Structure 1
Amino acid sequence: MQAGLHFQPCFKFGLGLYTGLFYELYVSTSKKYDYDMFIEHCAYVPVHLYYRIPFGRKVALSVHGGLGFNYVIHGAFSAKDEDIEDYTDFYEEDGFPKKFNMAMEVGAGLRLGAFQLNFQYGKGLNDHKSYRSDGDFKTIQNKYTFGVSYMFSAE
């Protein structure tokens, strides 16, 4: 889940900037392991070039691409068994990801009046080396984002 504020100024010829500040929440559950739930709270800032193609006063298609920056504020594994302690201080340790993630991102948006439908794909750029003890392969974070935004300036 992601919540925050987009800032999409559009300058001449439909070119602009796509940025903002977002809170992201990741939740994952598993019944196979001692730790059955993982929760992560992140701050996310995209810095993208933006191009808008207007089809009318209140309808526009846009594409954007650039870098996305995530920073983990807090993450925790919680155990289903009361005898196992919850685990929160694991970032940067062997076998666990780093707090910072940078990704190359591309996306598109369709604005209809004051609402905008968004799609974005992010390809992780930094190797978290989470499984370096298991062999020589990379662990990167990729993500798909689908969203609905309310535009305060529906120009």
Structure 2
Amino acid sequence: MNQGLLNSLTDAERLLVAETDRDTLKGLDEDELLELHQRIRRARTKYVKNYRRAASAAVAPAGGRGMSYARNQRDRDKAELFEAALARVSREVAIAASRASKQLRSERIEAARSVKPVVDAPVIPAVDSPKPTESTKRRATKTTGGLKKDASTRATGARRQAKRDAR
């Protein structure tokens, strides 16, 4: 990391970046990682927003986007720094989530295996449901409430189309 950039950070920002050190991240559980991820995302979003606003405001006075590019280097660098920190934390969140998922899955499998089947359970015969007779037919189309209403809707659409075609 650029030492000048680190020196330009506030104390709170410097501590936030220091929390993303690999050894520090290993000691955090999934909830703490998610909370850190949220704080870093907020800081990244802040500097991205500041950079974009300043960059768009500097285009007209500088005479173009290329000329105004160098004027907003600090916010761009801070956004990039927090983006890298966010990536580190995101990787750790993914690892922690995977670990928790595997642990939960193994616990559920173990719980399912430990349940003993009931041997003396009475067998309940299945009740046959009556089958529909041949005389009962279902309508092929759905209506919105009545034949007159459906015809009215179709006629309204036809009038609307005829009006468009007449233009």
Q: Same fold judged by TM-score > 0.5?
A: no
Answer 1 or 2: higher relative contact order, Cα 8 Å, separation at least 6: 2
> Higher Cα Rg: structure 1 or 2?
2
Q: Name the structure where strand makes up a greater proportion of residues.
A: 1
Band of TM-score, shorter chain: under 0.3
Relative to the length of structure 1, the TM-score reads 0.19
Relative to the length of structure 2, the TM-score reads 0.18
